[in-house]
Structure 1
Amino acid sequence: MSTKSNQFAGIALITTLFFLWGFAHNLDPILIPHLKRSFTLSTMQATLVDSAVFIAYFLMAIPAGMIIKKWGYKGGIIFGLVVFAIGCYLFIPAANTQQYSFFLVALFIIACGLTTLETAANPYITVIGDPAGAATRLNFAQSFNGLANALAPIVGARLILAKGYTDEALNAMAPGARQIALASEASSVKAPYFILGTVLAVIAVCFYFVKMPVVYKQDAGDTVKSDGVFRALKHKHLSWAVAAQFFYVGAQVCVFSLFILYATQSAGISETDAAYYLSAAGFAFLVGRFLGTALMKFVSSDKLLSLYAAINVALCAAAVLNQGIITVYILIAICFFMSIMFPTIFALGVKDLKSDTEYGSSLIIMSIVGGAVIPRIFGYISDSTGDIRQGYWVPLVCFIVIVIFGLKGHKITRKAAANPSAAQIL
């Protein structure tokens, strides 16, 4: 197989990963209201779903970078797929035992697999072609993540939420019958996660047998080996990217994961209807990703990033100050303008890191722990005020940080050190 064919096959397979981890993440907004009701949780307790997922990013990001350093992109991807699949299969015993903590463990293991996949796939896309097109290439691949954003809520609503009982029906039941009904609801997650785990196992086999493109670091100026993971933070634009990604992911999780809870309380619609609106938000995210990728041919990625973030600051204020169905459309608009943020921050953060690229990728992926921390603050404000709309002050502050990154934080002020030889990393 030619080098060009290898590159096409590699990008095609990598793109499926963007879809799959997007699908897994966008089942979480379905799980949150589902498990909240099944286990009678507060909003803050329900956000432990996000905490379990994003704490894994914090703990697994550096080991993931080490795995990729040792085994290459292909080995890291196969490892991530296997761990991801194991976590999906664990949903079966979690549902059988009816333990909320077991669900959280399964989600943590899934996220360990996702961390490894994202640590490998994001830099792979940026280095496999022309460096000038890294942000555009990453945004294009992440567009399939946006497709998952649109499809996962529909699938989750039909396979998980639609099988649940209404609040009126549950309240009318005797305590014993109600417990049985809630147990039955919790079990509805088994089939979708079993199917997802099986798909992941098949794709892992495909990665094992398909010849992937070999990527070499051949930059003549790259003559010094990386000093280590935290030494990579000597690049100021990387440090800014880590902070920006922390706040961005926190904001995104607040919007997507708490979308259904927000919509049902602010607009007074049912959970199933809210899930369909969430699918519309995912579609807006997808359109925004494709449109943003196209716009980057005419507008620099940093300027587009700061513009979109500034618009979202205003939209978050509107989400706090309004009520009724208009607030749902405001959230959909926020999703549209969030669309380019993750890949653009990532691409700007790893730009010109050279021998520090793998560790820089690990640190940016590590910063995804913002998704564990910031929604907890959102939940605390919502519970303490009794008004979930007040939680939107939290993502508003997050988007202000991203505006600053887009305006000045992304600027490279120290050149990357370099590697003396062309090192094979696959």
Structure 2
Amino acid sequence: MAGSTAIPGQTNQLSTGGNENYGFALTSLTSLFFMWGFITCLNDILIPHLKAVFDLTYTQAMLIQFCFFGAYFIVSLPSGVLVKKLGYQKGIVIGLVIAALGCASFYPAAAMQSYPVFLIALFILASGITLLQVSANPYVSILGKPETASSRLTLTQAFNSLGTTVAPFFGAFLILEQAATEVGNAANGAEAVQMPYLLLAAMLLILAAVFAYLKLPVVADTQVEDGEEIIGSAWQYRHLVLGALGIFVYVGGEVAIGSFLVNFFADPNIAGLEEAEAAKYIAYYWGGAMVGRFIGAGVMQKIAAGKVLAFNAVAAVVCICAAVFTSGTFAMWAILAVGLCNSIMFPTIFSLAISGLGKHTSQGSGILCLAIVGGAIIPLFQGMLADSIGVQLSFLLPIVCYVYIAYYGLIGSQFKQVNS
């Protein structure tokens, strides 16, 4: 899932000895990656469910992703300030509590049968997830030897993908199947989300209690030496600016496709599946990303990352075209195959964009993290297209996103020295 890459440029150091075993700490942190992948993917279940409950247009339904990913843009920088002041461990605890509050807010939202209150609850939940990512991502990278940081991050990101793969089954069983038994009853349809999200709130609070009592290593920030002046700005680097746009369109395209899968599979011309059954197939979309991440890691040891990125983007364009211009199960599996193409895109764009930034790496990383707001904007525009030309043709928008990513992999990512 987007946003699960650690923030480079954080040259923090452990204040405790460097020979300690951080296995338990890393195991605990891995559970966080699983949880936020799980919760984020549930949005793909919420969208068709709340659309039916409140009789929404596709544009209105996409406000779910707008509020969720909009929190990344609004909360990321304040979260960084908070973590710098309180430390990573306290940041994790506070993030878990805020996310739990957001989950618990689904209960009154359903009781009030209010879509705006659901959106507020989602924003609160996403704010907690954002704080978790700002706290946990760089923390994982410094818990152990620097030369093995990449392997640790790959492992934790795999569990993030595992969360996105499991979530559709959870949502299909506890939300969509439950709601299906209450056809025509909007109140009970809305209330189908209450118990699942209360359960998530309880799990998040348990994790918060665990992290509050864990004896985790303290991290000292040594990113910039006292008195050191950084000349220039990350905005000077063309490949960084183009990379930020790449992150924007990638996250937007990935999230937009996932958001429409249930409705796409329910189309009689595609698969004609019931919502609860269609939701289970979302696991193939996110599961493909999990499998492809490991395949891509091996391939990129032999082939330049930019070329692999461009190849995957072109493959995604081919798959989406097949989904748009054909029908039946072939179209269904074609759009699911895009998940496999997505696998290496976020971390690859991220790493290419910050390459060669030197002392501007931290600023560049922050710019790229803000670009995740694409997950709020592009699904909204696809919703507008779906309302005007239909769900199937609305997938033409993600094609534009992947064409740009192919350009970035081949041309836009090339580093040009900047005099500073």
TM-score (norm 1): 0.85
SS in 2 for 1:3: coil
Does 2:271 correspond to 1:267? yes
Following TM superposition, by how much is the alpha carbon of 1:215 offset from its aligned partner in structure 2, in angstroms? 4.9
The number of residue pairs the alignment matches comes to 403
**Distance in 2 separating the partners of 1:92 and 1:29:** 19
Q: Residue 248 of structure 1 aligns to which amino acid in structure 2?
A: Y
Does 2:100 correspond to 1:85? yes
Name the structure 2 match of 1:421: none
**Distance in 1 separating the partners of 2:227 and 2:396:** 46
Q: Which of 258-267 and 156-165 deviates more?
A: 258-267
Name the structure 1 match of 2:299: 295
Query: In the alignment, is the contact (CA less than 8 A) between 1:154 and 1:275 conserved in 2?
Result: yes
TM-score (norm 2): 0.86
Q: Residue 335 of structure 2 aligns to which amino acid in structure 1?
A: L
Query: In the alignment, is the contact (CA less than 8 A) between 2:18 and 2:144 conserved in 1?
Result: no
Aligned residue among 42, 57, 63 for 1:27 = 42
Following TM superposition, by how much is the alpha carbon of 1:398 offset from its aligned partner in structure 2, in angstroms? 0.7
Closer, same or farther: CA 101–409 of 1 in aligned 2, 3 Å: same
Aligned residue among 401, 404, 411 for 1:401 = 404
Q: Residue 299 of structure 2 aligns to which amino acid in structure 1?
A: L
Name the structure 2 match of 1:251: 253
Name the structure 2 match of 1:313: 317
Following TM superposition, by how much is the alpha carbon of 1:43 offset from its aligned partner in structure 2, in angstroms? 1.2
* 5+ residue gaps, structure 2: 1-15
Closer, same or farther: CA 338–58 of 1 in aligned 2, 3 Å: same
Closer, same or farther: CA 284–379 of 1 in aligned 2, 3 Å: same
Aligned residue among 244, 263, 266 for 1:242 = 244
Following TM superposition, by how much is the alpha carbon of 1:2 offset from its aligned partner in structure 2, in angstroms? 5.7
Q: Residue 45 of structure 2 aligns to which amino acid in structure 1?
A: I
Query: In the alignment, is the contact (CA less than 8 A) between 1:140 and 1:290 conserved in 2?
Result: no
Closer, same or farther: CA 133–163 of 1 in aligned 2, 3 Å: same
Root-mean-square deviation over aligned CA pairs: 2.9
Query: In the alignment, is the contact (CA less than 8 A) between 2:43 and 2:64 conserved in 1?
Result: yes
Following TM superposition, by how much is the alpha carbon of 1:415 offset from its aligned partner in structure 2, in angstroms? 7.4
Following TM superposition, by how much is the alpha carbon of 1:296 offset from its aligned partner in structure 2, in angstroms? 3.4
**Distance in 1 separating the partners of 2:237 and 2:276:** 46
Aligned residue among 381, 388, 392 for 1:389 = 392
**How is 1:139-288 mapped onto 2 (pairs within 5 angstroms)?**
139-165=154-180, 170=183, 178=184, 181-215=185-219, 224-225=228-229, 231-265=233-267, 266-288=270-292
Following TM superposition, by how much is the alpha carbon of 1:207 offset from its aligned partner in structure 2, in angstroms? 2.4
SS in 2 for 1:160: helix
**Distance in 2 separating the partners of 1:334 and 1:403:** 14
Aligned residue among 70, 82, 85 for 1:70 = 85
Does 2:409 correspond to 1:413? no
Closer, same or farther: CA 76–407 of 1 in aligned 2, 3 Å: farther
**Distance in 2 separating the partners of 1:127 and 1:410:** 27
Query: In the alignment, is the contact (CA less than 8 A) between 1:149 and 1:285 conserved in 2?
Result: no
Does 2:118 correspond to 1:116? no
- Identity over the aligned pairs, expressed in percent? 37
Closer, same or farther: CA 140–294 of 1 in aligned 2, 3 Å: farther
Following TM superposition, by how much is the alpha carbon of 1:7 offset from its aligned partner in structure 2, in angstroms? 3.9
**Distance in 1 separating the partners of 2:356 and 2:25:** 23
Q: Which of 316-325 and 115-124 deviates more?
A: 115-124
Following TM superposition, by how much is the alpha carbon of 1:349 offset from its aligned partner in structure 2, in angstroms? 3.5
Following TM superposition, by how much is the alpha carbon of 1:16 offset from its aligned partner in structure 2, in angstroms? 1.8
SS in 1 for 2:96: helix
SS in 2 for 1:67: helix
Q: Residue 96 of structure 1 aligns to which amino acid in structure 2?
A: A
Closer, same or farther: CA 205–234 of 1 in aligned 2, 3 Å: farther
Following TM superposition, by how much is the alpha carbon of 1:164 offset from its aligned partner in structure 2, in angstroms? 1.8
Name the structure 2 match of 1:371: 375
**Distance in 2 separating the partners of 1:261 and 1:133:** 42
**How is 1:318-357 mapped onto 2 (pairs within 5 angstroms)?**
318-351=322-355, 353=357, 356-357=360-361
**Distance in 2 separating the partners of 1:212 and 1:357:** 27
Query: In the alignment, is the contact (CA less than 8 A) between 1:47 and 1:375 conserved in 2?
Result: yes
**Distance in 2 separating the partners of 1:115 and 1:11:** 19
